[in-house]
């Protein structure tokens, strides 16, 4: 299936997606694009960036929940879910949807990102029927999830995690610490990895749990980051009791569950981020370059600036094509073992290069912009803050170094690094 990239019409073909969305038959993409455009014109708040700049944590959460329910009512909140759970949108339509949401500067679902992508994917791929019935409708009603994977000495090398879950009858008792848990201060539930067999090889002694964040012994502490936000949190676990029914997959198979569920979702989430980088970040960068500076000249009139803009546009076009290709291969079940790592690596480092150049051409006024909208990504137009924040993308979900190792070993078949053989 070829997915159109422009605003013109075409007809998508049938099939099924790796995330569970099924295709009932031919889809008129031009008609669907027009429908989404009308909806965006009528529903995307025109002043949301102003309202979310400097918003309190409570205002941010309330806005995000309200926006999620607006998207849900339109059928746009979880298009990648199976039809039986409120999704079922063909992949070609999902691409159009993300293109138009980005083009109309719709707020990102920052607060519900882990819920609708990673939590849902975990439940759909590896959860029990009871776990799905319990949590998928709750996510649609606003249940917020956080990912409890990284630890102080187990970030990129996640298999070295030391949080321990000990079996006690029909429960597991957990002790340990998680770090860089995005949105934990708002979360109701946690996707938790913990070691259940300390004597097993690193990747073979980990289990995957669903943890209620309201459980006794859970202590969440916000971490202030470089741009002044407290999106990241530490989670301290002291004798937290998790019912055995909240185990996902077999005991000691948590590593495999995590790899499968995260890989299944990376294609579509990266597709959305790539469309936003092209439709918001790059578009605003071009506008910045067309704005006269203190001396009256425009950066875009400098041939070197124009050349750099052309380079970035070419790279962004390539990124969007890579993302669409990954989604198509997932749909056809032909994705390679390193494809998702290629996309993640390319996106995160291209984002850094784009924001770095934006800071360079925006001049001193950009350095005086100290606030950005809470519901935007790293394409807010507050260039210095966006540049600082862009560095986060080369760390979570596996650092750039880890992605290169995966690409080399799994994609190119190179020998395994000695340090990674444990």
**pLDDT average, residue stretch 84-101:** 91
Predicted pLDDT of residue 391: 87
Q: SS in 3 state form for the chain?
A: CCCCCCCCCCEECCCECCCCCECCCCEEHHHHHHHHHHHHHHHCCCCHHHHHECCCHHHHHHHHHHHHHHHHHHCCCCCCCCHHHCCCCCHHHHHHHHHHHHHCCCCCCCCCHHHHHHHHHHHHHHCCHHHHHHHHHHHHCCCCEEEECCECCECCCHHHCCCEEEEECCEEEEEEEECCCCCHHHCCEEEEEEECCCCCCHHHCEEEEEEECCCCCEEEEEECCCCCCCCEEEEEEEEEEEEHHHEECCCCCHHHHHHHHHHHHHHHHHHHHHHHHHHHHHHHHHHHHHCCCCCCCCHHHCHHHHHHHHHHHHHHHHHHHHHHHHHHHHHCCCCCCCHHHHHHHHHHHHHHHHHHHHHHHHCHHHHCCCCCECCCCCCCCCHHHHHHHHHHHHCCCCCHHHHHHHHHHHHCCCCCCHHHHC
pLDDT tens profile 313-372:
999 999 999 988 888 887 788 988 889 889 999 999 999 999 999 999 998 888 888 888
User: To the nearest whole percent, how much of the chain has pLDDT over 90?
Assistant: 60
CB within 8 A of 10, min separation 6: which ones?
Answer: 4, 29, 30
Predicted pLDDT of residue 230: 79
- pTM across the whole model: 0.86
Does residue 192 register a pLDDT over 70?
yes
Predicted pLDDT of residue 259: 81
Distance CA 112, CA 293 (A): 39
Catalytic residue (choose from 100, 151, 265, 392): 265
Distance CA 415, CA 409 (A): 6
* Residue 31 is a catalytic residue: no
Nearest to 84, CA basis, from 108, 51, 120, 38: 120
Phi, psi torsion values for 399, nearest 5 degrees = -65, 170
Predicted pLDDT of residue 315: 97
Contact (CB, 8 A) for 74 and 310: no
Does residue 260 register a pLDDT over 80?
no
Does residue 233 register a pLDDT over 90?
yes
Alpha carbon distances (Å) from 207 to 1, 242, 253, 270 = 37, 12, 6, 27
Q: What confidence tier does 179 reach under pLDDT thresholds 50, 70, 90?
A: very high
Distance CA 410, CA 41 (A): 44
Distance CA 307, CA 313 (A): 10
Q: What confidence tier does 421 reach under pLDDT thresholds 50, 70, 90?
A: very low
Give all domains of the chain, ordered by start, each with its CATH number. Answer: 5-116 (no CATH), 143-252 (2.40.110.10), 262-411 (1.20.140.10)
pLDDT tens profile 15-45:
333 334 433 445 799 999 999 999 999 999 9
């Amino acid at each position: 299936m070829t997915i159109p990239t422009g605003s013109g019409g075409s007809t998508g073909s049938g099939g099924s997606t790796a995330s569970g969305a099924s295709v009932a038959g031919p889809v008129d993409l031009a008609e669907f694009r027009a429908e989404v455009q009308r909806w965006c014109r009528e529903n995307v708040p025109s002043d949301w960036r102003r309202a979310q700049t400097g918003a309190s944590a409570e205002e941010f959460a309330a806005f995000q929940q309200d926006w999620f329910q607006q998207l849900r009512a339109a059928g746009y909140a979880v298009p990648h879910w199976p039809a039986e759970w409120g999704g079922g949108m063909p992949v070609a339509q999902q691409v159009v949807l993300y293109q138009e949401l980005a083009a109309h500067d719709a707020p990102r679902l920052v607060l519900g990102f882990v819920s609708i992508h990673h939590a849902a994917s975990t439940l759909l791929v590896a959860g029990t029927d009871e776990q799905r019935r319990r949590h998928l409708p709750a996510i649609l009603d606003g249940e917020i999830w956080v990912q409890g994977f990284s630890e102080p000495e187990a970030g990129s090398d996640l298999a070295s995690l030391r949080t321990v879950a000990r079996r006690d009858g029909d429960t597991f008792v957990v002790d340990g610490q998680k770090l860089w848990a995005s949105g934990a201060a708002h979360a109701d539930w946690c996707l938790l990895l913990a070691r259940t067999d300390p004597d097993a090889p690193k990747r073979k002694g980990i289990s995957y749990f669903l943890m209620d964040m309201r459980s006794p012994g859970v202590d969440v502490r916000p971490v202030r980051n470089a741009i002044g936000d407290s999106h990241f949190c530490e989670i301290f676990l002291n004798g937290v009791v998790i019912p055995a029914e909240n185990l996902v997959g077999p005991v000691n198979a948590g590593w495999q569950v995590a790899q499968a569920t995260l890989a299944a979702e990376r294609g579509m989430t990266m597709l959305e981020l790539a469309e936003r980088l092209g439709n918001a970040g790059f578009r605003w960068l071009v506008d910045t370059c067309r704005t006269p500076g203190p001396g009256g000249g425009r950066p875009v009139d400098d041939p070197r600036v124009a050349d750099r803009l052309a380079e970035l546009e070419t790279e962004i076009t390539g990124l969007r094509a890579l993302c669409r290709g990954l989604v198509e291969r997932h749909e056809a079940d032909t994705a390679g073992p390193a494809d998702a790592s290629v996309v993640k690596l390319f996106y995160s480092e291209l984002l850094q290069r784009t924001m770095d150049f934006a800071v360079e051409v925006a001049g001193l006024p950009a350095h005086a912009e100290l606030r950005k909208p809470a519901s935007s990504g790293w394409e807010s137009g507050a260039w210095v803050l966006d540049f600082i924040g862009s560095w986060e993308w080369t760390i979570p979900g596996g650092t750039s170094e880890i992605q290169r190792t995966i690409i080399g070993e799994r994609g190119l078949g190179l020998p395994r690094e000695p340090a990674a053989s444990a």
